[in-house]
Amino acid sequence: MTTHPVLKGDTGDWEMVIGLEVHAQVISEAKLFSGSATEFGSAPNSQVSLVDAAMPGMLPVINEKCIEQAVRTGLGLKAEINKFSVFDRKNYFYADLPQGYQISQYLQPIVGKGEIVLDLPDGETRTVGITRLHLEQDAGKSLHDQDPTRTFVDLNRSGVALMEIVSEPDLRGPEEAAAYLRKLRAILRYLGTCDGNMEEGSMRCDVNISVRKVGDNEYGTRCEVKNVNSIRYVMAAIDYEARRQIDHIEDGGTVVQETRLWDTGRGETRPMRDKEEAHDYRYFPDPDLLPLEFDDAFIDGIRATLPELPDEKKERFVTHYGLSVYDAGVLVAERARADFYEAVVSGGPNGRRDPKICANWVITELFGALNKGGHDIDESPITADQLGGLVDLITDDTISGRIAKDVFAEMLETGHDAAAIVDAKGLRQVTDTGAIEGEIDTVLAANQDKVAEYKGGKQKLFGFFVGQVMKATQGKANPKLVNEILRSKLDG
Ligand code: ADP
Ligand code: MG
């Protein structure tokens, strides 16, 4: 059982309670209710239709692709799909919201309760509840930094489809919140419903945090922290905000429910506004839009196209390839990485390479090198075929594992095939027993004193002789043969 992290206070031990609201931008060529493009980084106001600009009399038309994406995501989150859901108007005034309301879903969202299984750093898993997923439009963007006295508004994002995915208050600390976001992002990417790119704002997160004494059953009052746009900042915001609340309560204060802003520069949260209540928004069903109604065939049709998701893939990698849960977890964290691994395993002379040796080369060597350079798998200078070629040279004894590391380094640098490097540099392993015997005899002859010591009982000198032979052959002698022949010469 996982134990929850505890924060020490003057009056005792405290526990953190966290729920996340994630806004995930739907992958779709067009916006939720208009045909405008949704490309990131386009010139300001170049993707704005009359609907997005909220010209009087314009009517929203539902983009079916976005509806399918939301249902697909719901299915990926093992959630209830609501066959009847309603779009509501959430009314508020802001310069980047020309309609004067956001079209969202309130009482009847498209997706109900679901769950996400967290993969925690200690190898444990934990299931966290999803409360709901609803569809809504994004607002425009106010640009405050373009001019000293004026604010500009870019409406490119106005009307872009977002899925708001709300978790239950089931998370108990920064690590779990991070694991939740990583897993959610992986699932969205596997599904192809959101690219999960937090830097570009296509996945944004509001963090709700409260604290309570360990052993309390009631939740404390929460604060909602906005504008937290990386997993690292989510963790830092939780650390900061939990400590702030504990100190405040222990100083005799009470936490007021409010919306706070994460200040990246200062690494702290500060008050933004009092928490608004639902009735402040005057939610009501949008009279321009009919409710959404699905039949089973529609939902089943989408279900039939779901890919294998990370949890199932991990399970398969463990049972089918005999990998450790940890290694399987690392591989499936990204679909492209899992695919790369399977491409390595499923090649070679018999159409299947040793899954564990492959996992080791893919995870430790290749991912290690890519991570060091901050590269994605699709930027790998070594293809799956090429890495497989290296594994083949090891398993058929052409080169030793030791030499293979040098070959790998060369492959990373040049992108050449392993076999070509081995040939060009004459790295083929020496498996000719006669040749190895000759080297061994030379080494033993040159170290008569050590041979005597060994025979006198100094067993650990064996490693010295192996080392000398390997050195004499520039690491190319087959280590297994060296060991066998040395044994027979020294002990025989
Ligand atoms: P709102 O829409 O007003 O932000 P919701 O009821 O939708 O409020 O809840 C928002 C988020 O707050 C959810 O993720 C939920 O899990 C979380 N939450 C609710 N109560 C608490 C609490 N006491 N402590 C921490 N998080 C909470
Ligand atoms: Mg909220």
pLDDT at residue number 349: 86
Report the separation in Å between the CA atom of 21 and the middle of ligand 2, taken as the mean of its atom positions.
7
Rounded CA-CA distance 317/311 in Å is: 10
pLDDT at residue number 152: 95
pLDDT at residue number 123: 76
Answer positive or negative: Cα dihedral of 238, 244, 249, 250: positive
Cβ–Cβ < 8 Å for 170, 65:
no
Quick one: average pLDDT of 258-272?
Answer: 92
What are the beta bridge partners of residue 165?
22, 133
pLDDT at residue number 2: 54
Summarised one tens digit per residue, pLDDT across range 95-114 is: 999 999 999 999 999 999 99
Indicate if ligand 1 lies below 6 Å from the C-beta of 219: yes
Quick one: average pLDDT of 26-41?
Answer: 95
Q: How confident is the model at residue 466 (pLDDT cuts 50, 70, 90)?
A: very high
Summarised one tens digit per residue, pLDDT across range 181-230 is: 999 999 999 999 999 999 899 999 999 999 999 999 999 999 999 979 99
The dihedral formed by the CA atoms of 70, 304, 333 and 336, expressed in degrees to the nearest 10: -100
Ligand 1: nearest atom to the Cα of 20: 14
Indicate if ligand 1 lies below 6 Å from the C-beta of 169: yes
Report the separation in Å between the CA atom of 379 and the middle of ligand 2, taken as the mean of its atom positions.
38
**How many CB atoms are located within 10 Å of the residue 348 CB?**
18
Indicate if ligand 1 lies below 6 Å from the C-beta of 20: yes
Rounded CA-CA distance 3/262 in Å is: 28
pLDDT at residue number 273: 75
Quick one: average pLDDT of 13-39?
Answer: 97
Q: How confident is the model at residue 479 (pLDDT cuts 50, 70, 90)?
A: confident
Q: How confident is the model at residue 280 (pLDDT cuts 50, 70, 90)?
A: confident
pLDDT at residue number 480: 85
Quick one: average pLDDT of 276-297?
Answer: 92
Indicate if ligand 1 lies below 6 Å from the C-beta of 222: yes
pLDDT at residue number 119: 87
| Widest distance between CA atoms in the chain | 101
Cβ–Cβ < 8 Å for 70, 192:
no
Ligand 1: nearest atom to the Cα of 278: 3
b/e burial code for range 85-115 (CB count within 10 A of at least 16 → b): bbbbbbeeeeebbbbebbbbbbebbbbbebe
Per-residue pLDDT at 148 exceeds 90: yes
Summarised one tens digit per residue, pLDDT across range 67-86 is: 999 999 999 999 999 999 99
Pairing of strands 125-137, 114-119: antiparallel
Summarised one tens digit per residue, pLDDT across range 388-439 is: 999 999 998 899 888 999 999 999 999 999 999 999 988 888 888 888 899 9
Block residue for tokens 């059953």? 217
Quick one: average pLDDT of 373-384?
Answer: 94
| Ligand index nearest the alpha carbon of residue 218 | 1
Ligand 1: nearest atom to the Cα of 275: 3
Indicate if ligand 1 lies below 6 Å from the C-beta of 167: yes
- The pTM of this model reads 0.88
Quick one: average pLDDT of 466-482?
Answer: 88
The values of phi and psi at residue 188, to 5°, are -60, -40
Q: Please report, rounded to a whole number, the percentage of residues in the chain having pLDDT higher than 90.
A: 84
Q: Please report, rounded to a whole number, the percentage of residues in the chain having pLDDT higher than 70.
A: 99
Block residue for tokens 């990698």? 317
Provide CATH 1.10.10.410 ranges for the chain.
Answer: 433-491
Quick one: average pLDDT of 459-464?
Answer: 91
Tokens at 229, concatenated: 């746009």
Fold that domain 433-491 belongs to in CATH: Arc Repressor Mutant, subunit A (1.10.10)
Mean of the per-residue pLDDT values of the chain: 94
Per-residue pLDDT at 1 exceeds 70: no
Candidates 27, 342, 49, 446; CA nearest to 195 is 27
Edge-to-edge strands, sheet with 284-285: 101-104, 88-91, 284-285
The values of phi and psi at residue 282, to 5°, are 50, 55
Indicate if ligand 1 lies below 6 Å from the C-beta of 210: yes
Indicate if ligand 1 lies below 6 Å from the C-beta of 19: yes
Rounded CA-CA distance 347/356 in Å is: 14
- Residue owning the nearest CA to atom 14 of ligand 1: 19
pLDDT at residue number 394: 93
Indicate if ligand 1 lies below 6 Å from the C-beta of 347: no
